[in-house]
Structure formats: structure tokens, C-alpha cells
Amino acid sequence: MELIDKGARNLGIALSEKQLAQFQTYYEELVVWNQQMNLTAITAIDAVQINHFLDSLTVSLVYQPEGKIKALDVGTGAGFPGIPLKIAFPEMHLVLLEATGKKVLFLQHIREKLCLENVQVITGRAEEVAHQFRYRAAFDLVLSRAVAPLVTLVEYTLPFCRMDGLLIAHKKGDIKSEIEQAKPAINILKARLLEVKPVNLPEFPDNRSLVVVKQLAPVPALYPRQSGLPVKKPLG
Ligand code: SAH
């Protein structure tokens, strides 16, 4: 796990032997389970360390999870970016939300295998779970990578943010028009675009950024709209 060790160090994160062993086990289990189900197209050990593990940890460029913060990863798939962040910042409380039941089986397995405490895995769609009392406006930090265009993503995710809570979304490529399209939606949802932080690391020459949105007031109860609508009829 040399690449994640070095990459994390450049982000100011010193990984212990135990944490590196957790990344190694995560890698091995990912590859084994990937033979039975579609978890990732990336399976080479170097590529997983960079494109899954280190990419997840770039969140720390804009936000250092401290203490027992409550974080949610929406559409986590095989656990990205939530699980690498949990390995690096073990005190955080993490909820992983994933719509596909098969992927949830992997997430439950990996949670046990890595002995991760305070990690909850939920099967469901954001449009429904965000209306459940225990999850609504309940998180300090909401994460999401490669799930939907920003305009849809803010409707999926902001209802989970507590007041002053943050959404941090991984994005790739030129996102100017994606940001412009999402601005009216961010207003409707009572939030504010704080920052679009370029990820300037030698490992990522492909124009990645982190979009940071802050929740200013409660999201109107109507949102998110019923399943499918945030994609079909984007807000704004
Ligand atoms: N975040 C992971 C997975 C990206 S693939 C990564 O970056 O590697 C997108 C995932 O989001 C899929 O697993 C899909 O099942 C899930 N997803 C898409 N829409 C969702 C929704 N509305 N609610 C919950 N999960 C969703």
C-alpha cells in the first residue's frame, strides 16, 4: 500500500500500520467480490490506491473530519469516498447509503472484515431515506462521488445536511456549466455554494475538483421529490 501511504502523507495524513493493513484488506476483498458482482472497473493495485483510496481522501483538502462528526455517503457503491475516509479518520460516525442491495452486502462484509465501528449501512434511495426523521438534517458532512449531475445531487444530498453542515461532492472534468445549472437549485434548497476546490495533486492530472456547499436553513419539506424526479426534472 505504498501509493496510498505516500499520497495520504502528502495530504497531511499519517497512516499507521493498522490503517495500511485495512486498506490492503479492503483492496483484496474488493477484487474478490468484484468477480461476482460489478463493483468497480478498476482492479489493478496501483490504480485502486490512487483512483479509489487517495481520491476519496482528497476531501481533506477542504475539510478535516475531526472527532465524532456524523458523515453520510450517498450512493457509496463499493464504499467510496466514505470507507477510505473512515479508515483515515476512525473517530467519525459514518452512514453509507446505497440503492443496490448486492453492493450493500459487500459494504456489510467489508465493515465486519475491517472491524469498523460506528458505521451503519442502509439500503435505499436518497429520495426516500431523506424524508425519514432520523436521517433528515442529521449530518455534519454529506459526501457523494460519481452519482449524479450536481443539480440532481444537491436535491439528493442537502436534505440530509444539518444547518451549517456541508456537502462535499467529487467532480471530474470541466464543471462550469454543471455548476451554473445547479445554482438555482442550491438557492431553492436554502444552501450556498462555498467553494469549488481544484484537486492539484500529481496523482490526478485530469482536472478533478471538490464542490463544497453549505446548508444555511432547513430544506423545504417537499424535497427531495419522489424517486426519479430529481433526474428527470432537475430543479430550477
Ligand atoms: N460513489 C461510488 C459509486 C458510484 S456509482 C464511487 O464513486 O465509486 C453510483 C452509485 O450510486 C451506484 O451504486 C448506485 O446504485 C447509487 N445510486 C444512484 N442513485 C442513487 C440514489 N438516488 N440513492 C441511493 N443510491 C443511489
105 lies in some domain: yes
Check the CA dihedral 88-93-97-98 and report its sign. Answer: positive
The SS3 call for residue 128 is: helix
Cβ of 146 below 6 Å from ligand 1: yes
pTM for the whole structure: 0.98
pLDDT of residue 16: 98
CA-to-CA separations, 151 to 65, 76, 122, 156, 216, in angstroms, rounded: 25, 18, 23, 9, 17
Q: Which pLDDT does position 39 carry in this prediction?
A: 98
Q: Which of 132, 104, 99, 101 is nearest to 119 (CA)?
A: 104
How sure is the predictor about 56, in pLDDT bands with cuts at 50, 70 and 90? very high
pLDDT score at 32: 98
Rounded to an integer, what distance in angstroms lies between the CA atom of residue 79 and that of residue 83? Answer: 5
Whether residue 188 lies inside any domain: the answer is yes
If one residue of 48, 98, 144 were mutated to test the ligand 1 pocket, choosing by the most ligand atoms within 8 A of its CB, it would be 98
- For residue 198, the enclosing domain spans 64-232
**Within-domain flag for 219:** yes
Q: What is the pLDDT of residues 166-207, one digit of tens each?
A: 999 999 999 999 999 999 999 999 999 999 999 999 999 999
Q: What does the pLDDT average to over 119-145?
A: 98
Give the pLDDT confidence score for residue 48 in this predicted structure: 98
Task: Give domain status of residue 47, yes or no.
Answer: no
**Selection from 178, 167, 181 nearest residue 210 by Cα:** 167
20 part of a folded domain: no
Whether residue 39 has its Cβ less than 6 Å from ligand 1: no
The answer to whether residue 86 sits within a structural domain is yes
Q: Could you tell me if the CB of 156 is within 6 A of ligand 1? A: yes
How far is the centre of ligand 1, averaged over its atoms, from the C-alpha of 94 (Å)? 16
> How many structural domains does the chain have?
1
pLDDT (0 to 100) of residue 113? 98
Across residues 78-97, what is the average pLDDT? 98
| 177 falls within a domain | yes
Distance, CA 17 to ligand 1 centroid (Å)?
30
CATH of the domain at 177: 3.40.50.150
